[in-house]
Structure formats: structure tokens, C-alpha cells
Structure 1
Amino acid sequence: MPEITHQGMTWTVATGTNLLDALNGAGLNVPHSCRAGSCHVCLVRCLDGEPDDAHPEALDPARRLEGWRLACQCSVSENLSVAVFDPAREGLPAHVQGLDWLSEHVLRLRLIPERPLRYHAGQHVLLWSANGLARPYSLASIPFDERWLEFHIDCARPGAFSNVARSLAKGDQLMLGQLHAGALRYDPDWQSRPLLLMAAGTGLAPLWGVLREALRQGHEGPIRLIHVCRVHSYLQAALADLAEQHANLSVEMIVREQLAGRLQALRVTSRHEMALICGGSDFVDACSKRMFLAGLPRGQILGDAFITRQVEG
């Protein structure tokens, strides 16, 4: 049976054992969230040996060449020597610059990294708390106009990281881990294309960044934004201001109970339209299916699904 070595400790596992399970079974407490290769929380570095990787395309080639793997997607078939991601060594320190409530349940967190972080609107990044808790959050900021990194954290339900966020104070330090591209972005080649942005809850955060980046670059085509919310959009005033300033932007806010009917009535405005969708997996799946049935090619439907994880008992 293959052996795993980590910092001088070696143990045996059955062939085919999931690498994340093998590491946590040995007491290493590797953080994880989605177990689907999307969140990138469970990064480990293979120093010797190679696991079987079920989702190699989840990491960019440069990271893979450095030996990084997503433990949840790997199984053990030979001896491995690994190092888990250490935010103190490999992360980027960032300090809390601002905390304010955008609504009863949505906390806006602004961080100032100790050195500039290169990113584009729509990406997400791992946030590490002081006690080693890691979760991926989408960036709501845009890199050219804002020196802080902005995140919108849904605190409506108990969550391990949202509970940490509630207790933060200005000046506190978090660590930034892996930056991940995801599917959401603004491409300057889309400048004359219609855009449809669909968000549920804090799925609005990355699309808030993408929208402002599109407008910053002088997007010429029409932009429709639909936000599905509990009562009203937590960015209602800011979105209304943008719509007043840009004649090509229309904003629609609907409550969750209206979603099924609104999707049924939704039509594409052009075969060239780009649809960007963000929210829970059910929401992203339903909207993506509707836009495909309405006539958009799959390559023009870009979706990022949030992973929701409750407090672990």
C-alpha cells in the first residue's frame, strides 16, 4: 500500500484513497469547502510522487508545474511526499480597511493588501482567518479604480467564515490565498455585444465588479442586470445611480418568488448576447438552462456557482 509523508510523518493508506481524506484522517486539518475542485481551498504541494488527478484543468499550468494539486480531486496510487498550503508562508497579508453593512444581512469587507494584488473583475480569492479557516469569496472591487479589495459577505445564516467576519475590526489581519479566475469576466472584445447579468443574493458581488469594469471601458452595447433578492437589492441605490448615468444600462430587481415566472418570460436580445450568471448552484443551473433554451450558445453563457457551507458542529 502507498505511503504519504508530510513534514517527517509517514503513514500508509489504501490504494485509491482520496488525498484530502488521507491527509485529514492523519489529523492535518486541511481546509476544504466544495470538494468539487471549484473553491481551491484544499491546495497541497506534491514534493515527490504524483497522485491520480481527476480534475487537472482546475489549476492553471503554472501552478501545476510547481507541484500544486487540489487534494479533493486526487487519489493516492503511489508513495507521496506533500506539503499543505501554509498561508503564513505562501499567503499575502491584508488588513481590514473598512466594515459596513450594506443591508441587514450583507457585510461589506474592504481589505488593503500589503502589496498590490493583480486580478481582474469577477475573480475570487481565498480568505484565511487567523485561526486557519479558509473560504473563497468573489471580488466586488475593480483593480484600476480602487486600491482596496472589496467582498460582500452574506451573514443571513450561520457560517464559519461569516461568524469570523462579524467579529472583525478595522486593522485586523487576514491572509489572501489562491486567486482563481472562475468564469466571470469582462472581455473588451464584447464592447458592442448585449450583456445580460443575472445574480442571486451576494452573487451580485462579482457582477458588480464586472458591470463597473464594462462601463469603465466604455461598453457600447445594452446591459441588462437582473438581481434576485430577499426584499430589495442591497446595492439598490448604487445600481440606480449607475443606471441614471448610463443610458445603455437597465436594472431589474425581483424577489425570489418571482424568479420562475421571470425566467419563463426571459428572451435573448441578440444571438451575440453574453450572459453572466452568479449565485447558488440551483439558480445558476436554472438561468443557464433558460438562456440556452432561449437561443444562446453554451459558450456565451458564463456561470459561477457559490458554495454555501454551514457551521460545522
Structure 2
Amino acid sequence: MRDSLTVEIVRVHQENPEVTTLYFARPFDFMAGQYITVFIEGSQVREGKAYSISSRPSEELMSITVKDVGGEFSSYLCSRQVGDKLQISPAYGDFNPQTERPLVGITAGCGLSPIWSILADAKQPTFLYFSQKSPEYMVFSEELAASNITVKKFSTRQQVEEKDGWHNGRFEVANIVGEVPSEAHFLVCGSLPFVRDIWQKLTAASVDESHISTETFFER
């Protein structure tokens, strides 16, 4: 756990039945879209596991948002309580394109974490296309509602009344490209198959590769 530091959890928020956000005093500055590595003492995974920072750089508390998928790290983190300690690394990553172009986030589930961090404080127009199995499993609901981000949410497993930004089914990438400004920069985050699929569809819709930033996570 070289270069790690200890932080104390000061708040735990249950985003939905599967997802928990852990808050601790921000121990260092970071750039929106970056990640930290979490270490578990005694784990066979000595290199730890990376988690995107889900808070904004301007906030006093730093947070990570974790889906419990039954793995060693996710189960450990989702069972933490206020007062527990975490071993974490400094922040890494360059997902943030640092551009003045309009920003379009395309993601699902906890893939929203780094995209929310980037879009929340952006000065340019921002758009979010977010897929979730049902409204019950939405994350960052209050934060998104209070933001200036144009949000479209897609319920993939439960029929919903199409209001308050909700739509049924899966989003169509070609439609997204047609709806947003032509000069937009796209942020895509999720599992490897998800990111690969969205990237292929964006390039097929004539989006230049230089206008696409991707971040991939591995659930376990």
C-alpha cells in the first residue's frame, strides 16, 4: 500500500438497493473525472481496486460510489459505516477532456460517477443520457435535479410514465448525435462491452475519435 493514506468515513448514503456512496474529508485536490485506488488490508489483491471520485473538486467532502456486485471490494465498501477508515491512493486519470466544447455524457449505473463530477461544474452546455433498469435504481437523483444538465433517463426493464426526463427502452446513439450540438465532446463510461458498443456507434455516426473520451470499469 505504498503512497496510500488513511481517511475516515463521515457519511454513508444509500443511493439505491445496490449502490452506496461513501463520503470522507477531501485529503487532496483532484480533477473532475479522476479516480482513486482503495486498498484492503490482508487482501490478496495487493494493488487494490480503482473507484471513480463521484464528488466535485469544489466540495469539502470527497466521495466514491460503489455498486455491491458480491466481489471482495464492493461487498467490503458497501458494508462500511461512519467512523470506519479507508486506505486510499492519490487521484489519477485523465478522463476529463478539459475542453470548451459542449459535453455529452453517455453512461449507465455507477458509470455516472466520473461523468457527474465533470458535468456538474462545467461552464459550457452539458447533456446526460443515462440508462438504468428502473427509476428505483437511479443514482444522484437530487443532485441531477438541482443541476443545469439536460438529462434524459432511460428505464430498460420497467415501463415508466414518460415524464420528468424518463423514457422507456434503450437510448439510440444515432439519435443522441442528432440531438446535441455538432461540435460536442462525448464522455462514455461503463463496462468494457458498454463502452466499446457506444464508441463504435458514435464513430459510425461520424463523430471524430478525438471528440470521444472513454473510461472503463470492471465490476469485481
Q: TM-score, normalised by structure 2?
A: 0.84
Q: How do 1:107-146 residues align onto structure 2 when only pairs under 5 Å count?
A: 107-112=20-25, 116-132=27-43, 134-144=48-58, 146=59
* Structure-2 separation of matches of 1:198 and 1:163: 26
Q: Are 1:235 and 2:140 an aligned pair?
A: yes
Which of 73, 78, 87 aligns to 1:175? It is 87
Displacement of 1:203 in angstroms is 0.3
Q: How do 1:1-313 residues align onto structure 2 when only pairs under 5 Å count?
A: 87=1, 90-112=3-25, 116-132=27-43, 134-144=48-58, 146-155=59-68, 157-182=69-94, 184-185=95-96, 187=98, 189-190=99-100, 193-214=101-122, 218-219=123-124, 222-232=125-135, 233-242=138-147, 246=148, 249-256=149-156, 258-259=169-170, 262-268=172-178, 269-309=180-220
Displacement of 1:267 in angstroms is 2.2
Counterpart contact for 1:123–1:180, Cα < 8 Å: yes
Tell me which stretches of 4 or more aligned residues in structure 1 moved more than 4 Å. Answer: none
String of CA shifts for 1:87-138, please: whole Å, max 9, x gaps. Answer: 2x5211111111120111110111225xx31210000110112334521000
Partner-residue secondary structure (3-state), 2:172: helix
String of CA shifts for 1:240-279, please: whole Å, max 9, x gaps. Answer: 221xxx3xx31011124622x5234332434421000111
Structure ranking higher in helix proportion: 1
Count of residues paired in the alignment: 203
* Structure-1 separation of matches of 2:78 and 2:150: 33
String of CA shifts for 1:32-66, please: whole Å, max 9, x gaps. Answer: xxxxxxxxxxxxxxxxxxxxxxxxxxxxxxxxxxx
Displacement of 1:209 in angstroms is 0.5
Counterpart contact for 1:121–1:209, Cα < 8 Å: yes
Counterpart contact for 1:273–1:296, Cα < 8 Å: no
Displacement of 1:302 in angstroms is 0.4
* Structure-1 separation of matches of 2:173 and 2:13: 33
Give the partner amino acid of 1:276. Answer: L
String of CA shifts for 1:136-194, please: whole Å, max 9, x gaps. Answer: 000011222x1221111011x21111111133221211111253214x2152x41xx22
Give the partner amino acid of 2:67. Answer: D
Unpaired segments of 5 or more residues in structure 2? 158-168
Highest RCO, 1 vs 2 (Cα 8 Å, sep ≥ 6): 2
RMSD over equivalenced CA pairs, Å: 1.9
Partner-residue secondary structure (3-state), 2:121: helix
Decide which structure has the larger Cα Rg and report it.
Answer: 1
* Percent identity over paired residues: 22
Q: TM-score, normalised by structure 1?
A: 0.60
* Structure-2 separation of matches of 1:292 and 1:274: 12
* Structure-1 separation of matches of 2:89 and 2:141: 31
Worse overlay, 117-126 or 287-296: 287-296
Partner-residue secondary structure (3-state), 1:179: coil
Counterpart contact for 1:186–1:213, Cα < 8 Å: no
* Structure-2 separation of matches of 1:130 and 1:111: 19
Displacement of 1:235 in angstroms is 2.1
Displacement of 1:293 in angstroms is 1.5
Displacement of 1:285 in angstroms is 1.1
